[in-house]
Chains A and B, each alone.
Chain A
Amino acid sequence: MRVSIFRFKWHRGVLWRETVDGWLFILPWIMGFLVFTAGPMVASAVISMMNWEILLPPEWVGLANFVRMFRDPLFLTSLGNTVYYTFLGVPLYIIVSLLTALALNMRLRGMAIYRTIYFLPSLTPAVANALLWMWIFNPDFGLANLLLNRVGLPGQKWLFDPQLAKPCFIIMGLWGIGGQMVIFLAGLQGIPPELYEAARIDGANNWQSFWSITLPMLSPTIFFNLVIGIIGSFQVFTTAYIATQGGPQNATLFYVLYLYRNAFDYFKMGYASALAWALFVIVLILTLMQFGLARRLVYYEVKEG
């Protein structure tokens, strides 16, 4: 009897301590969340209902900023550009980085060097990267036109051509797939080799085991890369900011570039905050849609124990 009471008390003490420590240990994160995420979200919502040019006192305008957005041709252009970039770019990047990861998962000598080479372009400093691509796509002495001339095709204006500027950005993105590739590699190495062994005994060829083992086992990783990829793609900024400044004819005026200009060039904090909230809602809807799809398409391994 005494023992059981004692044990009960001990148990309660431990639980109590776990509760206190549990909250204590996530306290830094909670503080960070309140100050740098939740607070700013609320503040951003409030500011989005104001006209505020930072140096002048703010003025309450209600939903006017949001109404204005739909009549703002540059908002629609920047949204269109970003959607174009995302919907063509992200699936392409997923496919290419998955194929690259498959190749980089082979057992070959010198793999560390290959992996580093494929990851290298995503480590190039932003300014250098933007200028390197401006050289490659330069109409007069760039590499892209040199290649076209070699195969007998006429040179293009690339980043100076409103039709081609966005496809150029999608091509540039192909050199930055290092992060997704590493995550795919990790996913591939997480697939138990016994599965392939069993499939081989059953007489499956490489192609069949790719479709019936690799792809389903990798579907959570694909889903992760897709969700994060779309969120990242909606925030494309740096290269456009440095290389094209949104031109030609606003063909590369991406959403965040337009938001940045409103906030830090025109100091329209209210309108920029409204743009930020609209972006949040758009990305949230897209993410929820993906989660809906994932429920049917993503295979989650059931862990025992």
Chain B
Amino acid sequence: MDKELTAKLSLATQSAKILRASRRIVKARQLTLRLVGHLILASGSVTMMVPVLWLLSTAFKKSGQEWVFPPVWIPHPIWWRNYLEAMEVLPVPFHRYVVNTLIITVCATAGTGFSASLAAFSFARLRFKGRDVMFALVISTMMLPGVVTLIPTFLIFKTLGWLDTFLPLIVPYCFGWSAFSIFLLRQFFMTIPRDLDEAARMDGASNLRIYWSVVLPLAKPALATVIIFQVLWRWNEFMEPMIYLNTMKNYTLALALRTFQNVRSQRINYLMALSSIQVAPVVILFFATQRYFIQGITLTGMGGH
């Protein structure tokens, strides 16, 4: 009897020990997995950061120290004045470029937001003949290389006298130029329950009203995604501004940076200083919104339909 009890007890303590040990193993495994994950991501991060770190490092180097070999990562002294000197070298006050870029980015993004969401609403919520054909047309323009239409579009803007203005960089976006945005928004609108429209319609709401006060307020994640994408693209756009803008006072930030490459190719520290100013706002924007942004694309069921 006693023996049996002790045997049972020892078995119980043993199994408890084993359980505890196995729990410890699971925990340890999770910990190692997490550590390995951090290790992989961190080493990848270092690799990805190399160009950006060099950009920052060069931005704070005194002239003459940019091309030292082997490379110096932490500049000595840390030369803040590059930022001021770089702005003085530019032929037009620096804030001019910031304002130009802002005007183009804001107008083009707002234009896309309105025209694309209106079209997307029509494709997702209204029933009419020819709708699906038109939507297929929208999708097919996504597969059209932009370069194909470049020359005639340039000639159109030239004839209109729009060269060296912001109009070629804004107006197309107000006409739903971005098929990607229409597609993304349409996919999202499809997921919003239709009953809401019907209820509003019963109350005598017009389609425009349903679009504006029923569907749009529910589509904030998708709208945010479209807006962020547009801001990132327009802010950094290089080829189009280069083709359409000729005078320095109309340049965007991205174009203004070329001044250093052409006139004073030695002043790479100035170039990097101003580049860091151009990069900062979009990096902050991405960091702050990445979760919603990725969610926004996920919710549209991108591809999986």
Tell me the complex Cα distance, A269–B175, Å.
26
Which of A1-9, A61-69, A223-231 makes up part of the contact surface? Answer: A223-231
Given contacts A117-B45, A234-B145, contact A36 B177 (CB under 8 A): yes
B104 at the interface (CB under 8 A from A): no
Interface of B is mostly: helix
A217 at the interface (CB under 8 A from B): yes
A235 at the interface (CB under 8 A from B): yes
B275 at the interface (CB under 8 A from A): yes
Tell me the complex Cα distance, A279–B283, Å.
34
Decide if B236 touches A123 in the complex (CB within 8 Å): yes
Decide if B302 touches A36 in the complex (CB within 8 Å): no
Decide if B297 touches A186 in the complex (CB within 8 Å): yes
Which single member of A25, A35, A140 contacts B122 (CB below 8 Å)?
A: A25
Which single member of B126, B155, B175, B261 contacts A32 (CB below 8 Å)?
A: B175
Decide if B129 touches A121 in the complex (CB within 8 Å): no
A272 at the interface (CB under 8 A from B): yes
B32 at the interface (CB under 8 A from A): no
Decide if B155 touches A22 in the complex (CB within 8 Å): no
Decide if B279 touches A124 in the complex (CB within 8 Å): yes
Decide if B176 touches A32 in the complex (CB within 8 Å): yes
Instruction: Across the interface, name the chain B residue whose C-beta is closest to A44.
Output: B152
Tell me the complex Cα distance, A117–B243, Å.
31
Which single member of A44, A117, A283 contacts B48 (CB below 8 Å)?
A: A117
Decide if B305 touches A228 in the complex (CB within 8 Å): no
Decide if B48 touches A175 in the complex (CB within 8 Å): yes
B115 at the interface (CB under 8 A from A): yes
Provide the residues of chain A in CB contact with B69, threshold 8 Å.
Answer: 140-141, 146
A106 at the interface (CB under 8 A from B): yes
A-to-B contact residues, CB < 8 Å: 14-15, 17-19, 21-23, 25-26, 28-33, 35-37, 39-41, 43-44, 47, 100, 103-104, 106, 108, 112-121, 123-129, 131-133, 135-136, 140-141, 143, 146, 175, 182-183, 185-187, 189-190, 217, 220-221, 223-224, 227-228, 231, 234-235, 237-238, 242, 256, 259, 263-264, 269, 272-273, 276-277, 279-280, 283-284, 287, 300-301, 303
